[in-house]
C-alpha cells in the first residue's frame, strides 16, 4: 500500500474544521493522506493519531492524520467527500489529546448529516450576504 500526502485535502479538512466551529482542533496538527492499494471493502476513510506513548517518547504534541482510501473516496461526489471528512473530524475529541471519539453516540450518520446541513446553511448564508 502507498501513502501520499494531500495538500488539497489537508486544506479542505482544515477549512471544514474552521467553518464548522471545531475550535478544539489545532488546524496545524491535522493532515490528510491518500492511500492506494487498499484491500478494504467497506472503509472510505479512517483517522489515525499519534498516541500518548509515542507523544511522550517523541516529546511532541498530538497529531491526527485522515487517511482517504483513493479507490473508494475519489469516486464519491463532492457532497459525500465532505460528509466523509466531517465524519473523520468528528472522531477528534474536545481534549485533542491523541484519542478518539467513538461512533456511538458521538459519530453517527444522523450527527454527520446534521453537521453537514448546518455547514451548508452557514455557507449559503455567507454567500447571500454579498
Least confident segment among 50-54, 67-71, 102-106: 102-106
pLDDT of residue 81: 97
User: In the predicted model, what is the mean pLDDT of the chain?
Assistant: 92
pLDDT of residue 6: 97
pLDDT of residue 127: 58
Count of the separate structural domains present in the chain: 1
CB atoms < 10 A from the CB of 36, how many? Answer: 12
Nearest alpha carbon to residue 38 among 81, 68, 80, 18: 68
Residue 84 has pLDDT above 70, yes or no: yes
**How far is it, in rounded angstroms, from Cα 83 to Cα 100?**
18
Domain membership of residue 24 as a residue range: 2-128
Question: Percent of the chain scored above 70 by pLDDT?
Answer: 96
CATH of the domain at 119: 3.30.2010
Least confident segment among 9-13, 27-31, 40-44, 115-119: 40-44
Residue 128 has pLDDT above 70, yes or no: no
DSSP-assigned letter for residue 26: -
What long-range pairs does 112-115 form, CB within 8 A, spacing at least 24?
112/83, 112/86, 112/87, 113/83, 115/20, 115/86, 115/90
Asked if 65 and 57 touch (Cβ cutoff 8 Å), the reply is no
Amino acid at each position: 500500500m502507498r501513502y501520499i500526502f494531500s495538500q488539497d485535502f489537508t486544506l479542505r479538512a482544515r477549512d471544514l474544521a474552521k467553518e464548522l466551529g471545531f475550535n478544539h482542533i489545532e488546524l496545524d496538527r491535522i493532515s490528510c493522506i491518500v492511500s492506494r492499494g487498499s484491500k478494504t471493502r467497506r472503509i472510505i476513510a479512517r483517522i489515525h493519531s499519534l498516541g500518548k506513548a509515542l507523544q511522550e517518547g517523541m516529546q511532541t504534541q498530538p497529531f491526527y492524520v485522515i487517511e482517504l482510501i483513493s479507490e473508494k473516496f475519489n469516486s464519491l461526489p463532492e457532497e459525500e467527500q465532505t460528509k466523509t471528512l466531517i465524519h473523520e473530524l468528528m472522531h477528534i475529541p474536545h481534549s485533542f489529546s491523541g484519542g478518539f471519539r467513538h461512533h456511538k453516540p458521538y459519530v453517527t450518520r444522523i450527527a454527520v448529516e446534521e453537521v453537514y446541513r448546518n455547514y451548508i446553511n452557514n455557507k449559503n448564508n455567507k454567500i447571500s450576504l454579498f
